[in-house]
């Protein structure tokens, strides 16, 4: 039997965040959680169709990484579990939910649905249904940043590219090929593994000969870091270090975030393969509750301030539902629009 990996407890005294930063991080995680809970409700009420994969439990990863980037400048590439990545990147909740409803006002004009969120404005390069698809896309974005900076002498081209993917993807060819290319060319890229222990119904320990994914980075001569993916400050600290390296021209970093999804693989998954004890153990480490306790202990917030954030975010989510319901369906006459680039 493979032993569960343990991580040192993140020391609150080592965290260097202001009250404004703390409240921003909390608000972003609350938005992700409340939004996904509303998605589950809407799905079971028949408001959205197809496969819907929720992010509950993994909020510290999205918030910790994406909110350390320059919003609207740095690139983010997601997976089929992409709603919360889109929200953290700044895509309005209205546009994300409208996309889930298949409406014209969605961020992908109702053509993408749950697994294909995209926003050029927010540098969200897409959600991808097949595992590993997004990594080469993120690599291309990182390559163009370096090409513009060094070949075209554009000193403003210091954008960083981040690719998110799960533990199951790290056994696929795109992962290894892109790690090699990124390291070879010292591209400004960050590979973020959201290791939630399960690739659909396959336990991670049964699928990989090297279960400590961050160690795979050493083969390509790049730093590999393992962090507690249920601790937003630990993730943020690792992300900030990797971002600084990338902007300085020092190349890519692989960050493995040990996390857990609180719901099944998708909303169609009865979630019968994972044991009750395993789920309860991870739910006891809820990243939002953990960060809430930290904010209170460090006097960075009081209960009323946190409740005010929750009320405000609930209003944002409720407004997104109303907007999505009232938005128009895509025009059938434009069925073939958006297939090719328009002049």
How far apart, in Å, are the Cα atoms of 320 and each of 40, 43, 96, 209? 14, 15, 8, 44
How far apart, in Å, are the Cα atoms of 143 and each of 46, 153, 193? 42, 14, 20
Q: Enter the tokens of residue 1.
A: 């039997």
Task: Please report which confidence band the pLDDT of residue 9 belongs to, taking 50, 70 and 90 as the band edges.
Answer: very low
Cβ neighbourhood burial of 115 (10 Å; 0-12, 13-18, 19+):
buried
The answer to whether domain 26-324 has CATH 1.10.10.10 is no
The closest of 289, 285, 327 to 48, measured between CA atoms, is 327
Helix 19-44 vs helix 287-297: angle between axes, to the nearest 10 degrees?
150
Contacts of 106 (CB under 8 A, 6+ apart): 95, 96, 98, 99, 100, 112, 324, 327
Helical (H) or strand (E) element with 177: helix 173-184
Give the pTM.
0.94
Give domain limits for the chain: 26-324
Q: For residues 189 and 145, give the distance between their C-alpha atoms in angstroms, rounded to a whole number.
A: 10
Task: Please report which confidence band the pLDDT of residue 14 belongs to, taking 50, 70 and 90 as the band edges.
Answer: low
Q: What is the pLDDT of residues 37-71, one digit of tens each?
A: 999 999 999 999 889 999 999 999 999 999 999 99
Q: Enter the tokens of residue 63.
A: 């918030």
Q: What is the pLDDT of residues 274-324, one digit of tens each?
A: 999 999 999 999 999 999 999 999 999 999 999 999 999 999 999 999 999
State the pairing for strand pair 189-195/253-258: parallel
How far apart, in Å, are the Cα atoms of 158 and each of 71, 148, 245? 13, 9, 11
């Amino acid at each position: 039997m493979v032993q569960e990996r343990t991580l040192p407890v993140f020391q609150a005294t080592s965290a260097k965040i202001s009250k404004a930063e703390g409240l921003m991080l909390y608000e972003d995680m609350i938005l992700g959680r409340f939004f996904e809970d509303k998605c589950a409700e809407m799905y079971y009420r028949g408001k959205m169709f197809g496969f819907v994969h929720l992010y509950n439990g993994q909020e510290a990863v999205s918030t910790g990484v994406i909110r350390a980037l320059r919003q609207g400048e740095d690139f983010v590439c997601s997976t089929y579990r992409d709603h919360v990545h889109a929200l953290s990147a700044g895509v309005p909740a209205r546009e994300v939910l409208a996309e889930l409803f298949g409406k014209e006002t969605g961020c992908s004009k109702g053509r993408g649905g749950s697994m294909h969120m995209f926003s050029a404005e927010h540098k969200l390069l897409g959600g991808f249904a097949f595992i590993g698809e997004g990594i080469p896309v993120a690599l291309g974005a990182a390559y163009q940043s370096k090409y513009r900076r060094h070949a075209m002498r554009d000193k403003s081209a210091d954008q960083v590219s981040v690719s998110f993917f799960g533990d199951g993807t790290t056994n696929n060819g795109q992962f290894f090929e892109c790690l090699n290319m990124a390291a070879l060319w010292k591209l400004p890229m960050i590979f973020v593994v959201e290791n939630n222990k399960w690739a659909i119904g396959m336990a991670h320990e049964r699928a990989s000969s090297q279960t400590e994914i961050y160690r795979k980075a050493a083969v390509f001569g790049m730093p590999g870091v393992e962090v507690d993916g249920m601790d937003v400050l630990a993730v943020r600290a690792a992300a900030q270090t990797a971002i600084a390296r990338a902007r300085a021209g020092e190349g890519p970093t692989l960050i493995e975030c040990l996390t857990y999804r609180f719901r099944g693989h998708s909303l169609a998954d009865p979630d019968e393969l994972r044991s009750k004890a395993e789920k309860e153990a991870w739910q006891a480490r809820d990243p939002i509750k953990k960060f809430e306790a930290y904010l209170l202990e460090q006097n960075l917030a009081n209960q009323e301030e946190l409740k005010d954030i929750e009320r405000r975010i609930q209003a944002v989510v409720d407004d997104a539902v109303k907007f999505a319901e009232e938005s128009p369906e895509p025009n059938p006459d434009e069925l073939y629009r958006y297939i090719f680039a328009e002049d």
